[in-house]
Structure 1
Amino acid sequence: MRKIIISTESGSDLPLDLIKRHNIQVVPMHVIMDEQNYPDGSIPVTMVYDYYQQTKKIPSTSSTNPNEYESFFRKINEDNPGCAIIHIAYSSKASSTYQNASIAIKEFDNIYLVDSMNVSGGEAAIIVKSAELAEKSNCTEPEKLVEEIRTFVSRARASFIPGNLEYLKAGGRVSNAAYLGASLLQLKPLIEIIEGKLVSTKKFRGKMRRIAENYINEFINHYNLEKDRIFLLYSLGLDEEIKVQMEQIVKENNFNKVQWIQTGCVISTHSGPGAIGIAGFEIQ
Structure 2
Amino acid sequence: MPRPVCITYDSTCDLTPQLLERFQIRTIPLTIQSGERVFPDNGQYTSAELYAEYRRNGTLPKTAAVSPEDFKAFFAPILAEGYDIVHIDISSELSCTCQNAVLAAQELAEQGQIHVVDSRQLSTGGGLLALRGAILRDSGMAAADIAAELRRLTPHSDTSFVLDTLEYMWKGGRCSGVAALGANMLKLKPCLEMREGKLVVCKKYRGSMDKVYRQYIAERLAGKAVVADHAFITHSGEVPEETLSQLTELVRELAPFEEVFVTQAGCTVSSHCGPGTLGVLFLRQPEQ
TM-score scaled by structure 2? 0.92
Which residue of structure 1 aligns with residue 268 of structure 2?
Answer: 266
- Whole-angstrom CA distance in 2 between matches of 1:281 and 1:209: 24
Letter in 1 for 2:115: Y
Q: What secondary structure does 1:229 align onto?
A: strand
Aligned Cα RMSD in Å?
A: 1.5
- 1:232, distance to aligned residue in structure 2 (A): 1.2
- 1:185, distance to aligned residue in structure 2 (A): 2.2
- 1:146, distance to aligned residue in structure 2 (A): 1.5
- Whole-angstrom CA distance in 1 between matches of 2:242 and 2:116: 39
Q: 1:21-64: per-residue Cα shift (whole Å, max 9, x none)?
A: 22211111011111432210132222211221121121121110
On the 8 A contact 1:11/1:90 being kept in 2, the answer is yes
On the 8 A contact 2:165/2:184 being kept in 1, the answer is no
Q: What secondary structure does 2:229 align onto?
A: coil
Which residue of structure 2 aligns with residue 12 of structure 1?
Answer: 13
Superposed, 1:93-112 pairs within 5 Å as: 93-109=93-109, 110-112=113-115
Q: 1:139-182: per-residue Cα shift (whole Å, max 9, x none)?
A: 1x212222222222132111011233321232233333332332
Which residue of structure 2 aligns with residue 50 of structure 1?
Answer: 52
Superposed, 1:155-170 pairs within 5 Å as: 155-170=156-171
- Whole-angstrom CA distance in 2 between matches of 1:230 and 1:263: 15
Which residue of structure 2 aligns with residue 77 of structure 1?
Answer: 79
Letter in 2 for 1:39: P
Which residue of structure 1 aligns with residue 133 of structure 2?
Answer: 130
Identity %: 34
Which residue of structure 2 aligns with residue 90 of structure 1?
Answer: 90
Superposed, 1:131-210 pairs within 5 Å as: 131-137=134-140, 139=141, 141-210=142-211
Which residue of structure 1 aligns with residue 284 of structure 2?
Answer: 282
Number of equivalences: 280
- Whole-angstrom CA distance in 1 between matches of 2:100 and 2:229: 34
Which residue of structure 2 aligns with residue 238 of structure 1?
Answer: 239
- Whole-angstrom CA distance in 1 between matches of 2:223 and 2:122: 20
- Whole-angstrom CA distance in 2 between matches of 1:13 and 1:251: 21
- Whole-angstrom CA distance in 2 between matches of 1:228 and 1:12: 18
On the 8 A contact 2:168/2:272 being kept in 1, the answer is yes
Mean Cα displacement is larger for which, 207-216 or 22-31?
22-31
On the 8 A contact 2:156/2:283 being kept in 1, the answer is yes
Letter in 2 for 1:88: I
Superposed, 1:11-30 pairs within 5 Å as: 11-30=12-31
- Whole-angstrom CA distance in 1 between matches of 2:23 and 2:225: 28
Mean Cα displacement is larger for which, 272-281 or 166-175?
166-175
- 1:3, distance to aligned residue in structure 2 (A): 1.0
Letter in 1 for 2:58: K
- Whole-angstrom CA distance in 2 between matches of 1:158 and 1:4: 26
- Whole-angstrom CA distance in 1 between matches of 2:199 and 2:223: 18
On the 8 A contact 1:161/1:271 being kept in 2, the answer is no
Query: Unpaired runs of 5+ in structure 2?
Result: none
TM-score scaled by structure 1? 0.93
On the 8 A contact 2:158/2:282 being kept in 1, the answer is yes
